[in-house]
Structure 1
Amino acid sequence: MPPPVVTVLLPARNAERTVARAVESLLGGTLREIRVLAVDDGSTDGTREVLRGLAARDSRVAVLDGGGRGLVAALNLALAHATSPYVARMDADDEALPRRLEASVAALEADPGLGGVGTGVEMFREDQPVSPSMRDYATWLNGLTTPERLHRERFVESPICHPSVCLRREAVVAAGGWAHGDFPEDYHLWLKLIEAGLRMHNLPEVLLRWRDSSGRLTRTDPRYAHKRFIWVKAHYLARSPEVAGRPLTVWGTGPGGLVLTRFLLAEGARVERFIDVHPRKVGTRIHGIPVEPPESLGAPREDTHLVAAVGVRGIREEIRGALTALGWVEGVHFTCAA
């Protein structure tokens, strides 16, 4: 068997119903030089037996024992066993389309400055329609098809679907792998790689069928709570070249904007004022910080930065339009973080 070009890290726990289809979708892909490291992470159903059967039929599959220590430990265990130049992710209930790995590797080999690529995704579930919020999220992800666009949007939400990603193994190892902590490990890794100077984007082609379900970790694990996503944003936003060392204006005094501000302050940032359109808030102070209307902004200043933190649907584009009309340049004078 030729050495693998890409190693797929596939943790599985109690996934006997779906894991065979997930692995087979990878094995049947157009890129044949792959290895699938399936980590049985403490399953109590027939997952281990399904994985062993797959390994017996195809030498490209190997089964590791994760010991039930959780997703991050399972990923780092598989990463430690990978030797290929690229590592890809896959969840045990998703389905890769045939060109997924071939297209991802081709993109990385064509651009040495890329740290990783995701792919376009199609969300599905079998019991009910996918929620409108998840459909909107997938649409947003599928539009981040250039490094410039993804970099601009990196603080809005996690900009890459984790099970769609393919990464340079050396870059992930240099970053310390997936980090343990009270935060979403994928978003943390994307921002860490970008902070290190690596570029990322999503391929425009839909190459992963991404399952939505009521039991997915993003809905059940407190590490993926909205507040923990905001903490990751604040941690890396405060250190970003756009923001570091500059006094900040935060546009938005809703719950998300106030949580982001609290975390930014904890990271050592200095917030000078809020911007809000609500007449009852304008002219007041929140945590000692004055609230002013958008009309007070005027022309941009090079020594300050504005963070747009309004999460209401459609408002981000309105804020972008208003600031652009005043001569503000995104990534220079302002950053969207909701």
Structure 2
Amino acid sequence: MTTPFPSTVVNVVLDDVAVLIPAYNGQQDVERTLASFVESAPVHVLIVDDGSTPPIVAPTLPNLAIEVLRMPVNGGIERALQAGIDALAERGYRYAARIDAGDLAAPGRLAKQRAYLEAHRQAAAVGMWTQVVTREGKPLFMLTPATEPRAIKRTRFFRAPFVHPAMMLRVDAVRAVGNYREKYRAAEDLDLFLRLMEHYDCANLPELGLYYELNEGGISATKRRRQVMSTLALQLRYFNPFNPFDWLGLAKNLLHFVTPYTLLQRIKRSLFAPRTA
């Protein structure tokens, strides 16, 4: 069991942390996302421009030092993230804080996650709970994955273990397990997390760290069949017949395969939408 983590972080240092944001077009979304970071120390950012036309331009924002790494052609998020991790390692950063264009960071997110990883050296990644919102910012439902490493590993296929854009990753650990890969397209995050959990602890902080914009044009919607097939391949690769949650997760994924995406979103909204008194 991990030790409780305080909400207040003092003596903040973020020089070894970089926000990693892959982007394909969407200049305004990139700017809105980066402007959401509120930290008590300067924030370093690496934008991986995945062949945008026109190219992404680094915005000028207070308290942020922003660099753009340009990919020669649009190669997909897997290649962009792999290149981003390698670039951060070359620049000497220890931690990569993921976020996607259009999502917003909760205040103090980076300091809290870095402090956790500094205090838990066996942990390779730490996420945070997430508020799913509409494009206009209306709350839809909360994503509250398990927090403890053992519970996360046991239920990893039945319940999404992490919210990818709410994660902070230890750069050397990501590279040690092979970095992001293209082998499981549209499920590159789950592929990475499963490999990390074979060698390290991975946890979630039980507090809000991200406002996730539900994007009907995102990977989960437009590449859903590929994502489900990649997830199925990963489930079979790591399947443990003695873990009932692996069986439940397999059934759940097969259900996703035959259920329309819009219906799944309606079910989530009805189950996890905020309740009024």
Q: Structure 2 matches for 1:113-152, cutoff 5 A?
A: 113-126=122-135, 135=141, 138-139=142-143, 142-152=144-154
Q: 1:306 aligns to what?
A: none
Q: 1:156 aligns to what?
A: 158
- Indicate which of 39, 47, 50 corresponds to 1:41: 50
Query: How far 1:127 sits from its partner (Å)?
Result: 6.0
Secondary structure at the aligned position of 1:30 is classed as coil
Query: How far 1:37 sits from its partner (Å)?
Result: 0.5
Query: How far 1:191 sits from its partner (Å)?
Result: 0.6
Q: Name the CA distance, whole Å, in 1 between partners of 2:70 and 2:192.
A: 24
Q: Name the CA distance, whole Å, in 1 between partners of 2:105 and 2:136.
A: 20
TM-score, with length taken from structure 1: 0.63
Same amino acid, percent of matched pairs: 29
Query: How far 1:208 sits from its partner (Å)?
Result: 0.6
Question: Does 2:106 match 1:97?
Answer: yes
Letter in 2 for 1:193: L
How many residues are aligned here? Answer: 239
- Cα distance change on mapping 1:31 and 1:116 into 2, 3 Å: farther
Larger displacement relative to structure 2 (209-218 or 176-185): 176-185
Q: Structure 2 matches for 1:170-319, cutoff 5 A?
A: 170-183=172-185, 184-196=187-199, 198-221=200-223, 224-238=226-240
Q: Name the CA distance, whole Å, in 2 between partners of 1:95 and 1:10.
A: 12
RMSD of equivalent CA atoms? 3.1
TM-score, with length taken from structure 2: 0.76
Q: 1:88 aligns to what?
A: 97
- Cα distance change on mapping 1:224 and 1:124 into 2, 3 Å: farther
Q: Name the CA distance, whole Å, in 2 between partners of 1:253 and 1:89.
A: 27
- Cα distance change on mapping 1:252 and 1:71 into 2, 3 Å: closer
Secondary structure at the aligned position of 2:112 is classed as helix
Q: 2:7 aligns to what?
A: none
- Cα distance change on mapping 1:225 and 1:72 into 2, 3 Å: closer
Q: What stretches of structure 1 of length at least 5 have no aligned partner?
A: 244-248, 261-312, 314-338
Relative contact order, CA 8 A, sep 6+: which one is greater? Answer: 2
Question: Does 2:29 match 1:29?
Answer: no
Checking the alignment, whether the CA contact within 8 Å between 2:173 and 2:196 is kept in structure 1 is yes
Question: Does 2:19 match 1:8?
Answer: yes
Q: Name the CA distance, whole Å, in 1 between partners of 2:100 and 2:250.
A: 37
- Cα distance change on mapping 1:58 and 1:181 into 2, 3 Å: same
Letter in 1 for 2:121: P
Q: 2:116 aligns to what?
A: 107
Query: How far 1:148 sits from its partner (Å)?
Result: 2.4
Letter in 1 for 2:40: T
Q: 1:286 aligns to what?
A: none
Letter in 1 for 2:196: L
1:139-193 Cα deviation digits (max 9, x unpaired): 4xx1412222212211214311111100111100101110112440000111111
Q: What stretches of structure 2 of length at least 5 have no aligned partner?
A: 1-12, 258-266, 268-277
Q: 1:61 aligns to what?
A: 66
Checking the alignment, whether the CA contact within 8 Å between 2:14 and 2:111 is kept in structure 1 is no
